[in-house]
Structure 1
Amino acid sequence: MEIHSKKFNSDVLYFAEPSHGRSLQGLGVPGVSKMLAEITEGDYGHDYLNVDAVVGFYRNIESRMLPGDEVWIDLVENRVRNIRFENDGVLEVFQNLFIYYES
Protein backbone atom coordinates (compact mmCIF):
# COMPACT_ATOMS: atom_id res chain seq x y z
CA MET A 1 0.00 0.00 0.00
CA GLU A 2 1.24 3.48 -0.81
CA ILE A 3 0.93 6.64 1.27
CA HIS A 4 1.22 9.84 -0.73
CA SER A 5 1.66 13.28 0.79
CA LYS A 6 1.72 16.70 -0.80
CA LYS A 7 2.25 20.14 0.70
CA PHE A 8 -0.28 22.79 -0.26
CA ASN A 9 0.74 26.23 1.02
CA SER A 10 1.33 25.51 4.74
CA ASP A 11 -0.65 22.24 5.01
CA VAL A 12 0.39 18.70 4.13
CA LEU A 13 -2.36 16.40 2.89
CA TYR A 14 -1.90 12.62 3.14
CA PHE A 15 -3.66 10.01 0.97
CA ALA A 16 -3.80 6.21 1.10
CA GLU A 17 -5.91 3.58 -0.63
CA PRO A 18 -5.75 0.37 1.40
CA SER A 19 -6.78 -2.72 -0.52
CA HIS A 20 -10.40 -3.69 0.04
CA GLY A 21 -10.99 -0.44 1.87
CA ARG A 22 -12.08 3.07 1.34
CA SER A 23 -9.68 5.85 0.44
CA LEU A 24 -8.16 7.53 3.48
CA GLN A 25 -6.91 11.06 3.82
CA GLY A 26 -5.63 13.23 6.61
CA LEU A 27 -4.27 16.72 7.14
CA GLY A 28 -0.92 17.16 8.85
CA VAL A 29 0.76 14.88 11.38
CA PRO A 30 -2.48 14.36 13.35
CA GLY A 31 -4.20 13.30 10.13
CA VAL A 32 -1.53 10.79 9.11
CA SER A 33 -1.47 9.45 12.70
CA LYS A 34 -5.20 8.78 12.49
CA MET A 35 -4.82 7.16 9.05
CA LEU A 36 -2.03 4.87 10.25
CA ALA A 37 -4.05 3.89 13.32
CA GLU A 38 -6.93 2.88 11.06
CA ILE A 39 -4.59 0.99 8.74
CA THR A 40 -3.00 -0.99 11.58
CA GLU A 41 -6.31 -1.71 13.29
CA GLY A 42 -8.09 -2.69 10.08
CA ASP A 43 -7.92 -5.74 7.86
CA TYR A 44 -5.03 -4.39 5.79
CA GLY A 45 -2.26 -6.69 7.07
CA HIS A 46 -0.23 -4.03 8.91
CA ASP A 47 -0.78 -5.21 12.49
CA TYR A 48 2.88 -4.91 13.50
CA LEU A 49 3.75 -1.60 11.86
CA ASN A 50 5.64 0.74 14.20
CA VAL A 51 3.23 3.65 13.83
CA ASP A 52 5.24 5.91 16.18
CA ALA A 53 8.35 5.60 14.01
CA VAL A 54 6.41 6.37 10.82
CA VAL A 55 4.70 9.37 12.45
CA GLY A 56 8.13 10.53 13.66
CA PHE A 57 9.40 10.28 10.09
CA TYR A 58 6.52 12.41 8.81
CA ARG A 59 6.89 14.92 11.66
CA ASN A 60 10.54 15.38 10.67
CA ILE A 61 9.88 15.52 6.91
CA GLU A 62 6.76 17.69 7.07
CA SER A 63 8.62 20.58 8.71
CA ARG A 64 11.11 20.57 5.82
CA MET A 65 8.65 20.34 2.94
CA LEU A 66 8.05 23.34 0.70
CA PRO A 67 4.74 24.06 -1.08
CA GLY A 68 4.40 21.64 -3.99
CA ASP A 69 6.73 19.00 -2.50
CA GLU A 70 5.50 15.42 -2.58
CA VAL A 71 6.52 12.28 -0.67
CA TRP A 72 5.50 8.66 -1.35
CA ILE A 73 6.21 5.62 0.80
CA ASP A 74 5.21 1.99 0.40
CA LEU A 75 4.04 -0.09 3.35
CA VAL A 76 5.19 -3.62 2.54
CA GLU A 77 4.97 -6.43 5.09
CA ASN A 78 4.74 -3.97 8.00
CA ARG A 79 7.82 -2.07 6.85
CA VAL A 80 8.35 1.27 5.13
CA ARG A 81 10.09 0.90 1.77
CA ASN A 82 10.64 2.86 -1.42
CA ILE A 83 10.65 6.40 -0.06
CA ARG A 84 10.34 8.92 -2.89
CA PHE A 85 10.71 12.69 -2.54
CA GLU A 86 9.85 15.14 -5.29
CA ASN A 87 11.06 18.70 -4.88
CA ASP A 88 10.92 21.23 -7.71
CA GLY A 89 10.37 18.44 -10.23
CA VAL A 90 13.43 16.47 -9.06
CA LEU A 91 12.67 12.96 -7.81
CA GLU A 92 14.90 11.30 -5.20
CA VAL A 93 14.35 7.59 -4.53
CA PHE A 94 15.43 5.56 -1.50
CA GLN A 95 14.48 1.94 -2.19
CA ASN A 96 15.91 0.16 0.82
CA LEU A 97 14.30 -0.51 4.15
CA PHE A 98 13.53 2.62 6.15
CA ILE A 99 15.13 2.69 9.60
CA TYR A 100 14.30 5.70 11.75
CA TYR A 101 16.36 6.64 14.78
CA GLU A 102 14.98 9.34 17.03
CA SER A 103 17.69 11.19 18.91
Structure 2
Amino acid sequence: METGVRDPNSESVDELRQRLNNMKRMMAERQSAGMSLDEGQNRRRAGSIIDGSFLSVVFGVALLVIISVSIYAFYNLYHAILKKFPSHHTEL
Protein backbone atom coordinates (compact mmCIF):
# COMPACT_ATOMS: atom_id res chain seq x y z
CA MET A 1 0.00 0.00 0.00
CA GLU A 2 2.92 2.35 -0.48
CA THR A 3 2.05 5.30 -2.66
CA GLY A 4 5.59 5.97 -3.85
CA VAL A 5 5.87 9.25 -1.96
CA ARG A 6 8.93 9.32 0.29
CA ASP A 7 9.28 11.36 3.40
CA PRO A 8 11.93 14.01 2.60
CA ASN A 9 13.46 13.56 6.05
CA SER A 10 14.04 9.84 5.68
CA GLU A 11 17.23 9.19 3.75
CA SER A 12 18.78 5.84 3.07
CA VAL A 13 21.96 4.82 4.81
CA ASP A 14 23.88 5.04 1.55
CA GLU A 15 22.79 8.64 1.00
CA LEU A 16 23.81 9.56 4.54
CA ARG A 17 27.21 7.89 4.09
CA GLN A 18 27.73 9.76 0.84
CA ARG A 19 26.91 13.09 2.51
CA LEU A 20 29.25 12.25 5.40
CA ASN A 21 32.07 11.38 3.01
CA ASN A 22 31.53 14.64 1.12
CA MET A 23 31.72 16.61 4.37
CA LYS A 24 34.90 14.78 5.39
CA ARG A 25 36.43 15.53 1.98
CA MET A 26 35.53 19.22 2.27
CA MET A 27 37.06 19.40 5.75
CA ALA A 28 40.24 17.73 4.53
CA GLU A 29 40.47 20.23 1.65
CA ARG A 30 40.03 23.13 4.03
CA GLN A 31 42.72 21.80 6.38
CA SER A 32 45.11 21.15 3.51
CA ALA A 33 44.60 24.74 2.39
CA GLY A 34 45.85 25.80 5.83
CA MET A 35 42.58 27.25 7.07
CA SER A 36 41.11 26.02 10.33
CA LEU A 37 37.44 26.28 11.24
CA ASP A 38 38.02 29.35 13.41
CA GLU A 39 39.88 31.19 10.66
CA GLY A 40 37.06 30.52 8.23
CA GLN A 41 34.48 31.84 10.64
CA ASN A 42 36.61 34.88 11.52
CA ARG A 43 37.15 35.67 7.86
CA ARG A 44 33.39 35.65 7.33
CA ARG A 45 32.79 37.93 10.31
CA ALA A 46 35.70 40.29 9.65
CA GLY A 47 33.65 42.38 7.23
CA SER A 48 31.25 43.52 9.95
CA ILE A 49 32.12 46.47 12.19
CA ILE A 50 29.61 45.38 14.85
CA ASP A 51 31.22 42.62 16.87
CA GLY A 52 30.90 41.44 20.46
CA SER A 53 33.24 43.97 22.02
CA PHE A 54 31.57 46.88 20.23
CA LEU A 55 28.16 45.76 21.43
CA SER A 56 29.53 45.39 24.96
CA VAL A 57 30.74 48.99 24.91
CA VAL A 58 27.43 50.26 23.52
CA PHE A 59 25.39 48.40 26.15
CA GLY A 60 27.78 49.49 28.90
CA VAL A 61 27.37 53.15 27.93
CA ALA A 62 23.59 52.72 27.75
CA LEU A 63 23.62 51.16 31.23
CA LEU A 64 25.66 54.07 32.62
CA VAL A 65 23.26 56.59 31.09
CA ILE A 66 20.25 54.79 32.56
CA ILE A 67 21.86 54.60 36.02
CA SER A 68 22.91 58.26 35.98
CA VAL A 69 19.46 59.44 34.87
CA SER A 70 17.86 57.31 37.59
CA ILE A 71 20.13 58.77 40.28
CA TYR A 72 19.41 62.31 39.04
CA ALA A 73 15.65 61.68 39.08
CA PHE A 74 15.64 60.21 42.61
CA TYR A 75 17.86 63.06 43.85
CA ASN A 76 15.39 65.63 42.50
CA LEU A 77 12.44 63.65 43.88
CA TYR A 78 14.07 63.53 47.32
CA HIS A 79 14.60 67.30 47.37
CA ALA A 80 11.07 67.94 46.13
CA ILE A 81 9.67 65.82 48.96
CA LEU A 82 11.83 67.65 51.52
CA LYS A 83 10.60 70.99 50.18
CA LYS A 84 6.96 69.87 50.25
CA PHE A 85 7.15 68.38 53.75
CA PRO A 86 9.76 70.31 55.75
CA SER A 87 10.77 68.93 59.12
CA HIS A 88 9.65 71.09 62.03
CA HIS A 89 12.20 71.53 64.79
CA THR A 90 10.55 72.34 68.11
CA GLU A 91 13.59 72.17 70.31
CA LEU A 92 14.59 75.81 69.76
- Calculate the TM-score normalised by the size of structure 1: 0.17
Q: Which has the larger radius of gyration?
A: 2
Between the two structures, name the one with larger relative contact order (CA 8 Å, sep ≥ 6): 1
Please state which structure has a larger fraction of its residues in helix.
2
